[in-house]
Amino acid sequence: MEDKVIKSDKINPKLKYEIMKIPGGQNLLKCFACGTCTVSCPVWQDDPTFNPRQIVRKIIIGLEEDLLNDDRIWYCTTCYDCYERCPQDVKITELIMALKNYAVTKGVIHQAFTAQVTEIFKFGRLYEVDEFFNKKRSQLGLPELNSESPDVKKIYSETKLEEYVDKSNLQNKSEGEK
């Protein structure tokens, strides 16, 4: 393995403090790099390039640019295995969510997030409710659902989440319906 020199101009010494201000980031400095989070992680087991312990270290060191330019911060599936097993109660899952929230404030938004935000904006959920879906609900004695989402649109507007909706995706859907 090749040693990598970290240049001081690539370090944001305030990063750890900024992350610790975000809900979920409070326990960051409790980490002593034992690696329990990583070996507990099902994503790491499938893709060893995803390493929660390494993400924590990069936050503490201040490698902001490296973290924000790495898609792997978005790989966490929020299974909470690391959270439950951490001997220091770092709450890794919440910490990674805090990092994602920080990334969004810096204008770094993963395409998967934008896709989910757009689907929820369109349908009020991650998928469109169709006739087949409502037929199944009816058979189970459940009320029908519709794809109207005025409450979601209001929440998106008030929280400024609508800024992350892929408008081109909405445009293409409207044109396809004509």
The pLDDT of residue 131 is 87
Quote the distance between the C-alpha of residue 60 and its chain's center. Answer: 19
Q: Examine the fold and report which residue of 84, 105, 126 is the final residue of a domain before the chain moves on.
A: 105
Q: How confident is the model at residue 178 (pLDDT cuts 50, 70, 90)?
A: very low
Rounded-to-integer distance, Cα 161 and Cα 158, Å: 8
Q: How confident is the model at residue 23 (pLDDT cuts 50, 70, 90)?
A: very high
Asked if residue 58 and residue 73 are part of one domain, the reply reads yes
- 112-124 burial string, b = 16+ CB within 10 Å, else e? eeeeebbbbbbbb
Return the CATH number at 65: 1.10.1060.10
pLDDT tens digit string along 25-75? 999 999 999 999 999 999 999 999 999 999 999 999 999 999 999 999 999
The pLDDT of residue 171 is 58
pLDDT tens digit string along 79-126? 999 999 999 999 999 999 999 999 988 989 888 888 888 888 888 888
Residue 100 within any structural domain of the chain: yes
Asked if residue 118 and residue 72 are part of one domain, the reply reads no
The pLDDT of residue 148 is 73
Q: Examine the fold and report which residue of 54, 82, 105 is the final residue of a domain before the chain moves on.
A: 105
176: enclosing H helix or E strand: helix 167-177
Q: How confident is the model at residue 172 (pLDDT cuts 50, 70, 90)?
A: low
Residue 145 within any structural domain of the chain: yes
Q: Residue type at 59?
A: I
Asked if residue 81 and residue 16 are part of one domain, the reply reads yes
Asked if residue 101 and residue 27 are part of one domain, the reply reads yes
How many domains does the chain fold into? Answer: 2
Rounded-to-integer distance, Cα 30 and Cα 85, Å: 14
Containing domain of residue 84, as a range? 11-105
Residue 6 within any structural domain of the chain: no
